[in-house]
Amino acid sequence: MQHGKYRFIVGFLALPVIVYAIFVISPFVQAFQISMTDWSGLVGTAKFVGFDNFERLWNDSDFWNALRHNIYMLVAVPIVTLALGLFFAFMLNVGGKRRKNEVITGVTGSKFYRFVFFFPQVISITIIAVIWWNVYNPDPQDGMLNSLLSAVGLDNLTNAWLGEKSLALLCIMAVMVWANVGFYVVLFSAAMASIPRDIYEACLLDGANRIQTFFRITLPLLWDTVQTGWVYMGIIAMDAFALVQIMSVNMGGPNGATDVMPLRLYVTAFTNSQFGYASAMGIAMLIVTMAFAILTMRFARRERIEF
């Protein structure tokens, strides 16, 4: 009986594992193989160079500049996105005024607000980038943000935005937060809906306020969901290719202020035809992303709370 169970499990998993190995594991192995060559992308031009590409990568100031920007995103974007997602989800589910028969209730129109928050998720990232490029357009007539500031008498706050070296990366990170926070509002709302209302009511009847309820009840019970969301947002922050390519000045400008690792990889491979060196960048990205995921899962681990 036991042997039959294992045969069933192996037979059930064999095909998915084979497909995963072919389409996921195999490309990573091939990327590492290509990273050991000096390949221009043309058949028959690959030349084995060992670890020369990684040594070159170590001394490449442009790569370190791009990596630094990704790290900024890795720190700031998940924190802001998850914090806003938790705040809005908490308000939608628990932040309403007490009613006659309900101690705990969400704000009025919470279903409509969930739809509004989630709406950016159904829009293509390309469309989002184009929309926000027009918002940040420095032209006082065509740029939505500068036009709005001028209309309310705040002309001194108008700026070049994406053309300003000190602001360009912050502008793109703001778009990343805007584009993703709605997903976490819905995700955290669904997780909060599974928490028994009796727990909230008991805390409020004992004199706890909303802030204490959030940090003592909601956050600990949602920690597994928050941890998973943190890893997912970290992976998004390590990418940012489409937004930077479309929104930035001269792809990564001004003067490299918005350059990120995926964009640097793209330019190296498809503009400079250095596919071996670009593959080495891809391996470096894989290492950084895996390290982030492992460290997050390791240091954010807590005892599971049952309810």
Lowest pLDDT segment from 100-104, 260-264, 283-287:
100-104
Q: What pLDDT band is residue 105 in, cutting at 50, 70 and 90?
A: low
d(C-alpha 294, C-alpha 234), whole Å: 11
Q: Print the domain residue range for 76.
A: 54-299
Q: What percent of the chain has pLDDT over 70?
A: 91
Lowest pLDDT segment from 17-31, 99-113, 250-264:
99-113
Q: What pLDDT band is residue 173 in, cutting at 50, 70 and 90?
A: very high
The per-residue pLDDT for range 214-244, each reduced to its tens digit, is 888 888 888 888 888 888 888 888 888 888 9
Is residue 175 a part of any domain in this protein? yes
Give the residue with greater pLDDT, 252 vs 303. 252
Is residue 155 a part of any domain in this protein? yes
d(C-alpha 98, C-alpha 239), whole Å: 43
Is residue 200 a part of any domain in this protein? yes
Q: Give how many domains the chain has, as a whole number.
A: 1
Q: Look at residue 292 in the predicted model and tell me its pLDDT.
A: 84
Q: What pLDDT band is residue 14 in, cutting at 50, 70 and 90?
A: confident
Lowest pLDDT segment from 3-12, 59-68, 87-96:
3-12
Cα atoms in the Cβ-side hemisphere of radius 13 Å centred on 254: 10
| Domain of residue 241, CATH code | 1.10.3720.10
Is residue 201 a part of any domain in this protein? yes
Structure tokens at 171: 């502008």
Grouping H, G, I as helix, E, B as strand and the rest as coil, residue 37 is strand
Is residue 37 a part of any domain in this protein? no
Give the residue with greater pLDDT, 157 vs 280. 280
Q: What is the mean pLDDT of the chain?
A: 83
Q: Look at residue 112 in the predicted model and tell me its pLDDT.
A: 78
Contact between residue 289 and residue 235 where contact means Cβ atoms under 8 Å apart:
yes
How far CA 80 is from CA of 46, 214, 235, 261, 299, in Å, comes to: 44, 17, 15, 21, 19
Contact between residue 201 and residue 103 where contact means Cβ atoms under 8 Å apart:
yes
Q: If we measure between CA atoms, which residue out of 114, 117, 118, 90 comes closest to residue 104?
A: 90
pLDDT at 1 > cutoff 50: no
The per-residue pLDDT for range 36-49, each reduced to its tens digit, is 988 887 777 778 88
d(C-alpha 92, C-alpha 110), whole Å: 5
Is residue 196 a part of any domain in this protein? yes
Residues in the chain: 307
Q: Look at residue 157 in the predicted model and tell me its pLDDT.
A: 82
Q: Look at residue 190 in the predicted model and tell me its pLDDT.
A: 84
Contacts of 162 (CB under 8 A, 6+ apart): 133, 136, 138, 168, 171, 172, 247, 248, 249, 258
The per-residue pLDDT for range 124-151, each reduced to its tens digit, is 888 999 999 998 888 777 778 888 888 8
